[in-house]
Homo-oligomer: A and B are copies of this chain.
Amino acid sequence: MSSQARTANGAKGASDKRRLILDAAVRVFARQGFHACRVSDIADEAGVAYGLVYHYFDSKDEVLDTLFLERWNVMLDLIRTVDAEDKPVREKLLAIASFIVESYHHDPDLMKVIIVEVTRAANSFGDTHIGTIREAYELIGGMIVKAQEEGTFRREIEPRFAAMAFYGVIEQLLTGWIFDLLPQGEEHYERAKLLVVDIVCGGLEAGPA
């Protein structure tokens, strides 16, 4: 008996198993890739029976969908919050970059799965979630528009392109860590956050010339 469950119903135990399966799926997807792994691998990793995966999820796809949406929605909330604040763009972009880098720091496997299996998968999953993904780009694009109106950023740059560039730098740094092409560790994560903002803002800011 786990001492954590304090509610009267057995429903607590139920959601525990669901979580167990999701967490196991992250590890399995990260290790073997979504396509290469079997549903039985997830069940084994979670220490539950094969059929239980289908008790909580309609399909293998839905497991990945759930993982992606859980995390992406947290990020969208963060971006919306930051967007609503009254701060210089530089700080806003730093907050977003920090959040994403910290997400990787905290759970590299999950971020690997999201980037490799969803964000970049133009067919299959990318297609399903394109609307959700697009929303993030649009919010960032909006921040850039505002900075252009305030005169902080040069006006001649198409904001959508700038937003993509910003996100592209971050995602490529994560990819570098995922592939073990870049050195990792807290110190590097901190410097990476600043680098992202420096690079993008440096190129976008209205020069004093």
Contact = CB atoms under 8 A, between A and B. Distances in A.
Interface string A165-179: 101111111011011
A191 B158 CA distance: 9
A142 interface: no
Interface of A: 31-33, 35-36, 112, 115-116, 120-124, 126, 130, 133-134, 137, 157-158, 160-162, 164-165, 167-173, 175-176, 178-179, 181-183, 188, 191-192, 195-196, 198-205
A188 to B, nearest CB: 8
Contacts of A134: 179, 181
A168 B137 CA distance: 15
B137 A164 contact: no
A31 to B, nearest CB: 8
A95 B191 CA distance: 28
A176 to B, nearest CB: 5
B160 A35 contact: no
A124 to B, nearest CB: 6
Nearest to A168: B172
Given A122-B175, A199-B204, 5 more contacts: A116-B121, A133-B179, A164-B176, A165-B195, A168-B175
Contacts of A179: 122, 126, 130, 133-134
